[in-house]
Amino acid sequence: MKDLFSNRRRFLKNTATTAGGLLLLSSLPKKTIAGFSAEPRIRFSVININHSHIFSMVQAVIRGGGQLVAVYAKEADLLAGFTKQFPQVKVAGSAKEILEDNSIQLILSSGIPDERGPLGVQVMKHGKDYLVDKPGITTLEQLAEVRKVLKETKRIYSIMYSERFENRATVKAGELVKAGAIGKVIQTIGLGPHRMNPQSRPEWFFDKKRFGGIITDIGSHQFDQYLYFTGTTEAKVVASQIGNVNHPQYPKFEDFGDVMLRGNGGTGYIRVDWFTPDGLKTWGDGRLTILGTEGYIEIRKNIDIASMHNGGNHLYLVNQKETQYIDCNKEPLPFGEQFVNDVVNRTETAMTQAHCLLATELALLAQKNAQVITALPK
């Protein structure tokens, strides 16, 4: 997503008009841009497109060898934006039409968050795999049902944690950590600030029952990265807190949350918020610090305000040998190919199912058990 949009939150305005998006599209064969590669490895379709993450999700699967077949959405304006970018896609008359198409192996969705889990259950019951925008599940009850149907159907239920899969610096950090560049990882600190842009937000955006709460929603990225970089397979939430500290006009909204984690691979701290000021040139100064026994890595995902470096995908490596800056803008994004391989081969190379759902479970537990901040200190 970060390669397509300078502000990922302005859905219609940024459908296919940004320079980064046009550059990426122009680098692909025309048939691939439309979602119809000459020899597709899988056929996939889209149901519900309420968040613009769907564009990077579709592009990732296309890069991996997928053929986009059909799309269904209730909202005419969102559908128009999608078909503008993918003009040869078939517009289905209903979700049922796509679900019952036996030629389709995979369904993608970025629907309203509380509808994503139930849709995924239906997808799996129809014998198809599922790739969904985060948060992929908004309640522990939904999670239990997803796990039950997963066991019954043996399908794939995958969540697109784009701050790792679609950020080139984070991909590079994974390679460095695996190579031992900073020794054994002890802790991750993940910061996920976002800009509000309330005038462009749909009504459901301000309703906690629909988006799941701030930790469930935007914090899900940081839980994924904590598990991935520390190698944690068992963890607990030490403490968490949430609050609506500065937006009383939206009483069902949350604008701040943070979490402390401890697991069998290391510890973690997460902070998410909706306080990106208008003076910043991007939607959020997302950062990840990975602390190791022999050094540390800091990733500045979208902007580097402390230097003259342009754009995003900045990585700093400090260890016993050197202090190094790495521009990661040319690093490959392997997720799409890995995920399509998993659909074809029934493997788990992109992300294990256990990891995917553990990241979500931790986010849901942190959200459910969080202390509520009622007022800021004076």
Structure token digits, residue 311: 């754009």
Distances (CA, A) of 174 to 60, 98, 164, 180, 314: 19, 36, 9, 10, 14
- Which runs of E-coded beta strand occur in the chain? 42-49, 66-72, 90-91, 106-110, 129-133, 157-160, 185-193, 235-243, 256-263, 267-273, 287-292, 295-300, 314-319, 323-327, 371-373
Would you state the structure tokens that stand for residue 322, as one six-digit string?
């050197």
Nearest to 61 by CA among 38, 80, 37: 37
**pLDDT greater than 90 at residue 291:** yes
The pLDDT tens digits for 172-194 are: 999 999 999 999 999 999 999 99
pLDDT over 90 (residue 265): yes
User: How would residue 39 be classed by pLDDT, with cut points 50, 70 and 90?
Assistant: confident
Task: Give the mean model confidence (pLDDT) for residues 265-291.
Answer: 97
Distance CA 330, CA 42 (A): 27
Question: Is 297 within 8 Å of 317 (Cβ atoms)?
Answer: yes
The predicted structure's pLDDT at residue 153 = 98
- Report all structural domains of the chain as residue ranges with CATH numbers, in order of start: 19-160 (3.40.50.720), 164-333+365-372 (3.30.360.10)
Q: Report pLDDT for 169.
A: 98
pLDDT the model gives residue 33: 41
**pLDDT digit string, tens, across residues 332-361:** 999 999 999 999 999 999 999 999 999 999
Determine whether 24 is exposed, middle or buried from the number of CB atoms within 10 Å of its CB (0-12, 13-18, 19+): middle
pLDDT of residue 10: 42
What number is the average pLDDT over the span 122-146? Answer: 98
φ, ψ for residue 262, nearest 5 deg? -140, 130
What is the band of 374 on the pLDDT scale with cuts at 50, 70, 90? confident
Give me the chain's average pLDDT, please. 91
pLDDT tens profile 248-263: 999 999 999 999 999 9
Interatomic CA distance for residues 81 and 96, integer angstroms:
22
Find out whether the peptide bond into 135 is cis, omega within 30 degrees of 0.
Answer: yes
DSSP 198: G
Question: What pLDDT, on a 0 to 100 scale, did the predictor assign at position 24?
Answer: 37
- pLDDT category of residue 32 using cuts at 50, 70 and 90: very low
Q: What is the pLDDT of residue 37?
A: 42
Question: What Å distances lie between residue 179 and 264, 297, 363, 370, 377, CA to CA?
Answer: 20, 13, 29, 36, 45
Integer Cα distance of 227 and 264 in angstroms? 10
- The two three-digit tokens of residue 194, written as one number: 């976002």
Tokens of 182: 């900073």
What pLDDT is recorded for position 152? 98
pLDDT digits 0-9 by tens, 139-174: 999 999 999 999 999 999 999 999 999 999 999 999
Residue 138 has pLDDT above 90, yes or no: yes
Q: Is residue 12 predicted with pLDDT exceeding 80?
A: no
